Chains A and B, each alone.
Chain A
Amino acid sequence: MSKKLKGWKEIPMGVMITEPGNSVEFDVRSWRTYKPIIDQIKCTKCGMCWIYCPEAAIMIKEDGKYEVDLSFCKGCGICEKTCAPKAIMMVKEEAV
């Protein structure tokens, strides 16, 4: 987690989130045991992985390529299952 965590006096009262969309601050990379690797040659840019990713961790770059934001990928492997041309492979994270 890169951002400094807030203390009990700093957070809003009563289990409230007052800043919409603040889950972008929540880094989940440590949850993962496998990470998806996209083979850009096999990829047909159909967008199925982008649709199915429950974390919206797959991004479409300006040049049309698909990439995974590894800060938000929990390594569930749904993208690999939905990829028709089998361009996505789940690869074990190296031991830290």
Chain B
Amino acid sequence: MKRLGLSGNYAVAYAVKMADVDVIAAYPITPQTTIVEKLADFVANGELNAEYVNVESEHSAMSACVGASLTGARVFTATSSQGLAYMHEVLFIASVLRTPIVMANVNRALSAPLNIWNDHSDAMAERDSGWIQLWASSAQEAFDTTIEAFKIAEDIQLPVMVNIDGYIVSHTYEPVTLPDQEEISGYIPSKPMTNRVSPRLAYSSGVVGPPEYYYEMKYQAVDAMERSRQRIKEIESDFNQRFGKDYKDINTYHMDDAEYALLIMGSMTGTARVVAESLRRKGEKVGVVSIRCFRPFPFERLAEIFKGVRCVGVVDRAVMPGGPSNPLFVDVASALYGMAERPVLQSFVAGLGGRDVPTDEFELMFNKTKEGARTGRAGPCVYVGLRE
């Protein structure tokens, strides 16, 4: 075990090195981060024996990853915002071809206007691509989640996206504890669990699926995602046991007796907890829920957690113009629809394009949610911190 001061980006890079990947394909220019820069260092100085493919676009990066993964290699790439958007069509191919690629996505706003700061619009735009989406809210969690992601991806044979908030997690240095290489190697042995290339099996991959077969081929990936719900829980509890952690699909804070709560994703969790703590000291029965596993969406456990809660404020760091509400809110509302007595839901949008969401804005959101709990009615979406 060793303890290093690492940024979220470097924490991911160290995890990828320790996972002993075979192929990294990445586009090195904006909005790329230092994840792949560090990995290029590792490969160049011989610390990591991998094929580092410097491609000409993110579309090519993801395409190279799909090809490499089909040969049975352990594959990694990283991207952000416009880069993820540029990968869009290949993401759908990666999931249905069942390539266990692990990708770090540093969450950043989509243009326009051009912006390289944090929000969740990039990942939200890809939520239907068939990728498992995990969200980490600290450098340590980024390291752990990346290690776990390889296990999950190769077990279920679906690609996994590890999301970390741009700058707030990606460029902030924190102390990170790295397990010994033997422990990681014991958890994810270097020879990937999926190896499709064999002289015994001739096959064509990525073939045409006419109307007679497209549906069945696509459904296999849908079924895999459904089955992953249970497997992710098992893999996560194994991880927790081996490495002494306590990761869950949903993290809760003071939810045992909460009357109202905020539901969020990513790094805003920390600020929300600090504010919830101070409200608790004033006697408020308030809690915080953060989604760590966004795809597959843990709807059953969410309904369990919100039993007896009167109002939930859902904080989206992305918008869905013209939709019934915003992406996270819509998922939460669908998840709770089957509950006999479900909480009132209040929608918030905060922190677009890297705008800070300070504690007083969280107080505002908690107050508005408390009002919903008191009146039993929610208002229209509140765009927190928006100047008129």
Contacts and interface: CB of A to CB of B under 8 A. Distances in A.
Chains A and B form a bound pair: yes
Interface of A: 1, 5-8, 11-18, 20, 26
B97 A18 contact: no
Contacts of A16: 203-205, 207
B98 A13 contact: yes
A18 B205 CA distance: 9
Contacts of B219: 8
Contacts of A12: 203
A8 B227 CA distance: 15
Contacts of B97: 14-15
A7 B206 CA distance: 18
Task: Label chain A's interface by main secondary structure.
Answer: loop
Contacts of B47: none
Closest 8 CB pairs of A and B: A14-B98, A8-B216, A17-B204, A18-B203, A8-B219, A16-B203, A14-B97, A15-B217
Task: Label chain B's interface by main secondary structure.
Answer: loop
Contacts of A15: 96-97, 205-207, 209, 217
30 contacts: A5-B212, A7-B216, A8-B215, A8-B216, A8-B217, A8-B219, A8-B220, A8-B223, A11-B213, A11-B216, A11-B217, A11-B220, A12-B203, A13-B157, A14-B96, A14-B99, A14-B157, A14-B205, A14-B220, A15-B96, A15-B205, A15-B206, A15-B209, A16-B204, A16-B207, A17-B204, A18-B201, A18-B203, A20-B202, A26-B210
A17 B203 contact: yes
Contacts of B157: 13-14
A26 B210 CA distance: 10
Interface residues of B, number: 22
A17 B204 CA distance: 5
A5 to B, nearest CB: 6
A8 B213 CA distance: 8
A1 B99 CA distance: 31
B81 to A, nearest CB: 29
Contacts of A5: 212-213
A91 B220 CA distance: 42
Nearest to B216: A8
Nearest to B221: A14
A1 B213 CA distance: 13
B212 to A, nearest CB: 6
Given A14-B220, A15-B97, A18-B202, 10 more contacts: A1-B212, A7-B216, A8-B217, A13-B98, A13-B157, A14-B205, A15-B205, A15-B206, A15-B209, A18-B201
